[in-house]
Amino acid sequence: MTDDTLDGRDELLAAIHELRAELAAGAEGWENDSLDRYLEALGALLGSIENAYRNEGRALPRNAWSVMADVVRGARFYE
């Protein structure tokens, strides 16, 4: 595995640490504040990620780690 393959991994790790901190603080403002709801939203967002980026006027990143960082963050609120 090359360093290029891992580009964006730190971004995903940072997103996971942010989520854990938010949960420890009570996850205020989360739409999907239970594991069941969060995982449902995570799957739904991942399944339609191209549309989510398009709706925000953003290009889909080529790096899968960066996409996953956006997905784990976005699943807090995705319906």
Whole-number pLDDT of residue 71? 97
Whole-number pLDDT of residue 3? 57
Report yes or no on 54 lying in a domain: yes
Whole-number pLDDT of residue 4? 62
Whole-number pLDDT of residue 54? 96
Whole-number pLDDT of residue 2? 53
CB contact at 8 A, 69 and 11 = yes
Q: Which domain holds residue 55?
A: 7-74
Q: Using one digit for the tens of pLDDT, what is the confidence trace for 14-73?
A: 999 999 999 989 888 899 989 999 999 999 999 999 999 999 999 999 999 999 999 999
Report yes or no on 79 lying in a domain: no
**Domains in the chain: how many in total?**
1
Whole-number pLDDT of residue 6? 75
